[in-house]
Structure 1
């Protein structure tokens, strides 16, 4: 209730691949070994983190405390949980501790209600007949902010890898109904450079970068057919994977 409502997602609509360069005086295409595979490195461009915020429910005090918290993280100083939650280190925390211990002097700290918004003048017909996404607000006027920040990512493709991208897509096709794996499948389906992606450095949050690396891989053709037999007592449980 005291924080921004945030929706952030990584946009890959305008993604591009270009050969990464190495060297100081004489620049050349970057190629190096990743584990046991020789790989060509590519720079991924057109990767954007798009975020949308709403904050009409915040008071001026909330905005000041949130700004102070972000400034503290940026400068590396950090802040105590009490300050983050809009409390001080005084009697309120002691009172809260007493409440946890069942003390008789404990009192519940409640957040003050915001000033009610003005009564709406929108009729039901006006609301229903409005174009999609252009409905007039029935409560507070939305206070929105949209930002877009570009990120850089690195991709290493190896033609020595014993597995093809098509084989990887077949695996991802099975687990694609899970939301996060579906995003990964969409990324792999793009027009990747030649080879197999043996290393990917890609940001998933403003301060977090995911790294996937294949250091060693081998295919075993000597697999018993018995591993693929369905046991006679097997029964399908429809509630095991509710996301499917």
Structure 2
């Protein structure tokens, strides 16, 4: 009877079966007529299985046919996460590159609606102030701050920032401008300017080896804000006679609300890390608690990480795998070194009825600039059902130990936005080899609370 059940179950997932059995030829013949994104009982797609079992030829074949990279199984992990655990550098690089391509394709699909929405919106200038804080003693002293300056004209948006990258407890300073020209043809709409080096780079296939090094030497992280139990209550002020808190935020009247039930859920795996990796990461945290920033990026080129020795060959058969209960996936790779945690945050949001931008307008702007991962957190927050008005001041958890206070400190509709702001200056040189992926897609690769 169990054998009959296994045969019936196995017939449901032909792509999964031939990957499990290592039959590249069969996969090649089936791949055009079957759903390449189908999930089995464990939520694994064919790409998940190919990565977890080290079937490199199957991985490349699936990617060539557009297998989705940004998809999670029942355990909450993507093929990229499983590739990091397995440790084959070429596979990780291929997945990162494909993820970037698929993200851009999704952006192009949304482009017509986005461009139409931007054209309907008035032109403006806006400033967002970021103040990063931590409950860990002394860490707040070395955390960065930033002011993002955003210009919008027609279907074009420019964001100037000095906080180029923020990944776990590493960040990088710079003077970067991110330009989106919605009316340009695909492949020419995104441009990054390095204003210090006077270099620019358009949307091209870029060097991703630095990203791969970071992925291979860091915990596999998945973090997200849980919005299930969030409620809002009016913040109070006064010692004896309590009243609703109302203050000016910049030039805008705002009502303050307490955010209740905000939880940052984080999960991490580190079975791919050596004892040396763990000691280095521990040293970074210790330097932080002592008020030092020596653990952060300093511009020195990293040593390239070599592929790990593969995990022991799994002795699980296809029949055993396919009949395993949902959520009880047999071990196919390394023994997991896993930890999950959740932290509740006390946060506030200030909502102003006077702010001239609407939340929907803000979401259209953030749709363009969320490749900067700290801005992706802002977009995730704004998607929640907020109290009436516009969120002119917000507390957002960025990491389990770090929160950001975002203030919309300046906003003005303007009809005199200089069109040259959205052009590459004539004295800038194109540098196709410079690695700007860390600026443009790192949040998708490292900290999108979903990719890994």
TM-score when normalising by structure 2: 0.36
Of residues 159, 164, 167, the one that matches 2:353 is: 159
**Does structure 1 retain, via aligned residues, the 8 Å contact 2:345–2:397?**
yes
Selected match of 1:63 from 263, 278, 284: 278
Aligned pairs for 1:53-202 (under 5 A) are: 53-79=268-294, 117-161=311-355, 165=358, 168-169=359-360, 172=363, 176=367, 187-188=381-382, 190-202=384-396
2:408 matched residue in structure 1: 213
Which residue in 1 is equivalent to 2:246?
A: 31
Q: 1:177 to 1:135 in 2, by over 3 A?
A: farther
| 1:55 shift after superposition | 1.1
Preserved CA contact (<8 Å) 2:227 2:384: no
Classify 1:170/1:128 alpha carbon distance in 2 versus 1 (closer, same or farther; 3 Å): same
User: Cα gap change, 1:197/1:69 in structure 2, threshold over 3 Å: closer, same or farther?
Assistant: closer
SS of equivalent to 2:350: strand
Q: Deviations over 1:69-101 (max 9, x none)?
A: 31221222454689x9xxxxxxxxxxxx9xxxx
What's the offset of the Cα at 1:147?
Answer: 1.1
**CA separation of 1:33/1:67 partners in 2, compared to 1, >3 Å: closer, same or farther?**
same
Residue of structure 2 equivalent to 1:105: none
Residues 102-124 of structure 1 show CA distances to partners (whole Å, capped at 9, x for unaligned) of: xxxxxx9986966x755532112
User: For the residues of structure 1 that align with 2:386 and 2:404, how far apart are their CA atoms?
Assistant: 20
Whether the 8 Å CA contact 1:17–1:43 is kept in 2: the answer is yes
| Structure 2 alignment gaps of length 5 or more | 1-215, 416-452
Distance 1:39 1:175, change over 3 A: closer
Deviation of 1:160 (Å): 3.7
Contact residue 198 and residue 215 of structure 1 kept, 8 A: no
- Say whether the 8 Å CA contact 1:42–1:156 is kept in structure 2: yes
Provide the C-alpha distance between the structure 1 equivalents of 2:266 and 2:398, rounded to a whole number of angstroms: 13
TM normalised by structure 1 equals: 0.61
RMSD (Å), alpha carbons = 3.9
Specify whether residues 58 and 175 from structure 1 end up closer, same or farther in structure 2 by C-alpha distance, changes over 3 A only: closer
Equivalent position of 2:26 in the other structure: none
More helix by share: 2
Q: Residue in 2 aligned with 1:17?
A: 232
Gaps of 5+ in 1: 85-96, 98-107, 221-244
Change (3 A) 1:6 1:24: same
C-alpha distance in structure 1 between counterparts of 2:413 and 2:368, whole Å:
27
The SS at the match of 1:67 is helix
Aligned residues between the structures: 193
Give me the whole-angstrom Cα distance separating, in 2, the residues matched to 1:24 and 1:121: 67
- In our comparison, the structure showing a higher alpha carbon Rg is 1
Using a 3 Å threshold, how does the CA distance of structure 1 residues 34 and 65 change in structure 2: closer, same or farther? closer
Q: Take 1:6 and 1:191, find their aligned partners in 2: how far apart are those partners? A: 27
